[in-house]
Amino acid sequence: MRGGESEPEMTSRENTDGPPRAVSSSHHEEEMPRVVITRRQAIGFGLFVATIVGFLYFVLPKLAGVGATLHHIENGDGWWIAVGVVLELASFAGYVVLFRAVFVGRGTHPPGPIGWRESYQITMAGLAATRLFATAGAGGVALTAWALRRSGMEARLVACRMVAFIVLLYAVYAGSVLIDGIGLGIGLFPGEGSFALTIVPAIVAAILIAVVGAMALLPNDIERRLQSWASGSGRLARWVALGVTAPALAASGVRTAIELIRSRDPGLLGAVAWWGFDISVLWAMFHAFGSPPPFTVIWMAYFVGMLGNLLPLPGGLGGVEGGMIGAFAAFGVDFNLAVLAVLSYRAISFWLPTIPGAVAYFQLRRTVARWRQEQSADLLPAAYAGGVEAAGAQAIYFTK
């Protein structure tokens, strides 16, 4: 399916100097999502990040009796640290593969401008936006949706596939917490943890899975049934209209995710690779600095700590580290080892995509500009042909 939020409007005008001109709709004028930051805000943001990094890597280790963390990191096993970097790159590759399975696979649009290079640019730019800005990755979602619309995908299809993408990605998250929490809680998996740290997260994950799954049972015409509530004008009516659209969009996205799973597209394993390789980076960092706890403990502490991404902090910076270290301490893992492993893991997972992501952001802007030129070039011949046809029709009318 080609086209964006609205199909480009073509108008033909009589012009003795040349062919009719193509007038594009607002779809072509849609700007790239940007965050307007003043100089004071930029300085404040930089100071905030520097303060958090300084606390995590210098103050916290001293409070824990570890000493200078950077000195200890230098003494870590270089081979295991290199393995961690490779595993993180594999995690990013899984993310790109999942993106292509959801947005470039069957049922989206004919083979178009989104190749592997464009997929890399969109995903890496989105990951960088997620890392650098708060609100649980909303910046990355907005940038990804914008790029997809500019590629020619219809806005409603983009929204549906974005929901499906998120459902597939976090189904692995919730499923992992459910399985690992129950396994640790009943003693099936190695590692000891309290009821609050194992069974409670598993119960929450089960509830979330049930709620999201129930969305697929909503009728296809739920939006039409609720549309009467959104009649009228004013701010309240707009909010009601948004609330009416949300259930239909969520249901459509969940059903699309289920259909993709039933299709057995191997690209969906990218969701497993995204989480699995990232957890393995943390596991490798434990090896770099000592003896790691059971992998099932690393698995659970990782997902508990990831809840820090919900805090209004850039990329969960500070919240994720604190959550993971606290979870490992609750599991009885040596505190000093946990601090070194978690901070080393975050140094790789948080900062590694930042520079490539920033580069991908500017590459994506050039790619979108190229798409715009190609779309305009495709529209001009059609506009010219339409103008000639209209002129011929007028000539026939006046000869009668």
Is the pLDDT at 209 greater than 60? The verdict is yes
Give how far Cα 255 sits from Cα of 149, 176, 230, Å: 21, 21, 25
Tens of pLDDT, residues 182-196: 999 999 999 888 899
* Domain ranges across the chain: 79-372
pLDDT band at 327 (very low <50, low <70, confident <90, very high): very high
> Of 361, 342, 354, 214, nearest to 282 (Cα)?
342
The residue with greater pLDDT, 174 or 105, is: 174
Query: What percent of the chain has pLDDT above 70?
Result: 62
pLDDT band at 25 (very low <50, low <70, confident <90, very high): very low
pLDDT band at 391 (very low <50, low <70, confident <90, very high): very low
366-388 exposure pattern, b = at least 16 Cβ within 10 A, e = fewer: ebbeebbeebeeebeeebbebbe
Asked whether the beta carbons of 281 and 345 are under 8 A apart, the reply is yes
pLDDT band at 274 (very low <50, low <70, confident <90, very high): very high
Q: What is the pLDDT of residue 6?
A: 36
Mean pLDDT of all residues in 268-297? 94
Mean pLDDT of all residues in 331-344? 89
Mean pLDDT of the chain: 76
Tens of pLDDT, residues 371-384: 888 877 765 555 44
The residue with greater pLDDT, 309 or 265, is: 265
> Exposed, middle or buried, 324 (CB in 10 Å: 0-12/13-18/19+)?
buried
Q: What is the pLDDT of residue 355?
A: 81
Is the pLDDT at 18 greater than 50? The verdict is no
Is the pLDDT at 395 greater than 50? The verdict is no
Is the pLDDT at 46 greater than 70? The verdict is no
Q: What is the pLDDT of residue 71?
A: 55
92-110 exposure pattern, b = at least 16 Cβ within 10 A, e = fewer: bbbbbbbbbbbbbeeebbe
- C-alpha span between 123 and 358 (Å, rounded): 11
pLDDT band at 59 (very low <50, low <70, confident <90, very high): low
Q: What is the pLDDT of residue 293?
A: 94
Mean pLDDT of all residues in 1-7? 39
pLDDT band at 156 (very low <50, low <70, confident <90, very high): confident
Contacts with 254 (C-beta within 8 Å, 6 or more apart), sequence order: 163, 164, 167, 212, 213, 215, 216
Tens of pLDDT, residues 88-130: 999 999 999 999 999 987 655 544 578 899 999 999 988 887 7
Is the pLDDT at 397 greater than 90? The verdict is no
This prediction's pTM: 0.76
Tens of pLDDT, residues 212-252: 988 888 766 555 555 555 555 555 555 555 556 777 788 88
The residue with greater pLDDT, 80 or 228, is: 80
- C-alpha span between 108 and 2 (Å, rounded): 9
Query: What percent of the chain has pLDDT above 90?
Result: 33
